[in-house]
């Protein structure tokens, strides 16, 4: 095998990089083009930081003032998990409702995949049970009924092998509050731009 490698690379032109290949019985020094090493190093893709977020509800962050956040488990069927892996989910109008001492997520739309839901009849916008402990449910229920809060879903994300839903107690913003938030965000971007230039 070493002889075959030597025969292949024996005709290569200038700008060669030396490489020593060792076998069981003998070793041989090969001359390889430097471009091979450069291209191999450049072709490796840089790893992105691992992001576990499946979907976010940006509309809720814009329309509501977020007060307190909670992490809840969510009861899903098998085809729903497969659809979530593909990102076929919409959180835009989702909210939490409380019935018989349990928390239910409504308005979450998970589009079924044709390949994953062949043996069931999928309901894309069914109610999904949220897994919270009794103390958290009581706190959320009291805030929604007595203090005028709304409970909205902010994000779906992976935590280990489980899918979690970030929910929050929120109060609706007035129109002038939304404008003030946008003005603050624009001013923050402008400050960052000025700081980069100087």
Task: Quote the tokens at residue 140.
Answer: 């959320």
Q: What pLDDT band is residue 10 in, cutting at 50, 70 and 90? A: low
Query: Which residues make Cβ contacts (< 8 Å) with residue 31, sequence separation at least 6?
Result: 9, 12, 16, 17, 18, 19
Dihedral of the alpha carbons of 87, 161, 141, 111, in degrees to the nearest 10: 20
The pLDDT assigned to 53 comes to 87
- Taken in order of first residue, the domains within the chain and their CATH numbers are 2-43 (no CATH), 53-172 (2.40.280.10)
- Find where tokens 């959180």 sit: 91
What is the pLDDT of the chain when averaged over all its residues? 77
pLDDT digits (tens, 9 = 90+) for 173-197: 777 777 888 888 888 998 898 888 8
The pLDDT assigned to 184 comes to 86
Name the nearest CA neighbour of 106 among 123, 88, 128: 128
Distance CA 61, CA 41 (A): 42
Task: Quote the tokens at residue 149.
Answer: 């809060």
Q: Is the pLDDT of residue 5 over 70?
A: no
* pTM assigned to the model: 0.62
Please give the full DSSP string across 88-130, using - where no structure is assigned: -EE-TT-EEEEETTEEEEES-EEPPPTTT-SSS---TT--EEE
pLDDT digits (tens, 9 = 90+) for 106-140: 998 988 888 766 677 777 878 999 999 999 999 99
> SS3 string of 37-79?
HHHHHHHCCCCCCCCCEEEECHHHHHHEEEEEEEEEEECCCHH
The pLDDT assigned to 163 comes to 92
Q: What pLDDT band is residue 93 in, cutting at 50, 70 and 90? A: confident
The pLDDT assigned to 43 comes to 45
16 versus 60: the higher-pLDDT residue is 60
Phi, psi at 137, each rounded to 5°: -60, -45
Distance CA 157, CA 180 (A): 30
The pLDDT assigned to 153 comes to 92
The pLDDT assigned to 2 comes to 54
């Amino acid at each position: 095998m070493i002889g075959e490698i030597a025969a292949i690379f024996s005709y290569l032109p200038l700008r060669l990089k030396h490489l020593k290949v060792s076998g069981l019985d003998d070793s041989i020094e090969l001359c390889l083009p430097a471009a091979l090493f450069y291209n191999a190093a450049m072709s490796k893709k840089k790893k992105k930081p691992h992001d576990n977020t499946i979907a976010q509800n940006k509309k809720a962050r814009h329309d509501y003032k977020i007060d307190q956040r909670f992490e809840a488990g969510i009861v899903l069927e098998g085809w729903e998990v497969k659809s979530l892996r593909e990102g076929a989910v919409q959180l835009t109008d989702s909210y939490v409702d409380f019935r018989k001492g349990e928390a239910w997520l409504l308005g979450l739309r998970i589009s079924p995949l044709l390949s994953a839901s062949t043996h069931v009849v999928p309901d894309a916008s069914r109610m999904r049970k949220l897994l919270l402990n009794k103390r958290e449910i009581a706190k959320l229920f009291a805030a929604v009924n007595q203090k005028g809060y709304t409970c909205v879903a902010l994000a779906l994300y992976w935590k280990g092998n489980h899918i979690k839903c970030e929910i929050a107690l929120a109060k609706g913003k007035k129109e002038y509050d939304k404008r003030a938030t946008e003005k603050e965000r624009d001013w923050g971007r402008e400050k960052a731009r000025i700081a980069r230039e100087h």
